[in-house]
Amino acid sequence: MASGSRVLIIEDDSRVAELYASKLRRGGYEVDVAQDGVSGFDLAGSLVPDAIILDIHLPRLSGLAALAVLRKDEATSGLPVIVLSNDDTPAVMVEAGRLGVSAYLIKSKVLPQDVAEALSDLWRGTSEMTGGLRSAASAPQVLDAANHSAPVLVVDEHAATRQMVQTALELDGYQVLNAGGGDAAWNLIHEYRPAVVVAHVWMPGIDGLELCRKIKAHDTLRQVKVIVYSVGITSEDEAKQAGCDQFFLMTSALSGLREAVGRFYALAERS
């Protein structure tokens, strides 16, 4: 959904805004720019764009405050929002997750192409295994087999969501692997034996529930803790029947998912 789609960039640095606007326009998007939170809120309400790229630290009204107001307005409550900011503090990212951002990209770590890919991922999933977007959360990691600090594995076909979850967990200090589908995840699980697997329920091929069943049925893997998440299509009972250790709704604050990972990681280390 590129050609003809409308994107609103809310960014107070005119050079940064123009850099990303130029890239997106070449990709076929219609782009509007606002340079403060109040103007961004007003434009979002009048234009109702297909997506918003939002900075956090803005004049007049912060990005998070503007987003909170947008979420309360029926016309703009469901707009996809990608945060593009240099603020990587966990509290800010948790609040952004609570407000339903689709991705949180660290400005100094990404290129315009990465932002264009994140926009594409809003409307089409990607099932290939990938290191994710080039951000603070997705630099390739080489895990030493002798390293006793087991990784966490994040599995989601949507690169933007996968990257957001990975960013949050890496800021909490975990080594994080990621996969774009259940088949790739199954291979990584055998190779690296993660302490915790965090997986989206709905994926092509092996979905999150089936991945959980396979882990819990395997003699040497059943101690791996599995958290599955959804936007509400799957019930907690279905997750329990599959043997999952916890079910998480992505409409809730991201802090709840992080707390669950911490709790299960501690249990895995003691087992």
Dump strand ranges (E) for the chain. 6-10, 30-34, 51-54, 81-85, 103-106, 152-155, 176-179, 196-200, 225-230, 246-249
3-state secondary structure of 85: strand
* Share of the chain residues as helix, strand and coil, in percent rounded to the nearest 5: 40, 15, 40
| The CA-based dihedral angle spanning residues 63, 69, 72, 76, taken in that order and rounded to the nearest 10 degrees | -70
Q: Which domains are delineated in the chain?
A: 6-123 (3.40.50.2300), 152-270 (3.40.50.2300)
Model confidence over 154-208: pLDDT tens digits? 999 887 678 778 877 877 789 999 999 999 999 999 999 999 999 999 888 899 9
Model confidence over 86-99: pLDDT tens digits? 998 888 888 888 88
Reply yes or no on whether the pLDDT at 216 is more than 90.
Answer: yes
Model confidence over 10-44: pLDDT tens digits? 999 998 999 999 999 999 999 999 999 889 999 99
What does the pLDDT read at residue 112? 87
Q: Which of 263, 231, 271 is nearest to 246 (CA)?
A: 263
Q: What is the pTM of this model?
A: 0.52
